[in-house]
Amino acid sequence: MSIQYKTCKNCENDFRSNFDFCPHCGMKDKEGLTLTVLFYNTVSNYFSFDARFF
């Protein structure tokens, strides 16, 4: 099992990909994506319900 690294989008330092946030600047790597997906799902669910209701 090899150690993978990814680059922080904020400070551009490399850190291990098993970190959920950048240890250099503290920026969370996954939060933005998760929130975007959650928001998109909520909106799409709302509109599909709306379309059926009316």
Q: Binding residues for Zn ion, per CB under 5 A?
A: 8, 10-11, 22, 24-25, 27
Q: What is the Cα–Cα distance from 21 to 7, expressed in whole angstroms?
A: 11
Choose between 25 and 38: whose C-beta lies nearer to Zn ion.
25
Choose between 5 and 47: whose C-beta lies nearer to Zn ion.
5
Strands 5-7 and 14-16: antiparallel
Instruction: Give the nearest distance from C-beta 45 to Zn ion in angstroms.
Output: 33
Instruction: Give the nearest distance from C-beta 22 to Zn ion in angstroms.
Output: 3
- Of 12, 13, 3, 8, the closest CA to residue 29 belongs to 8
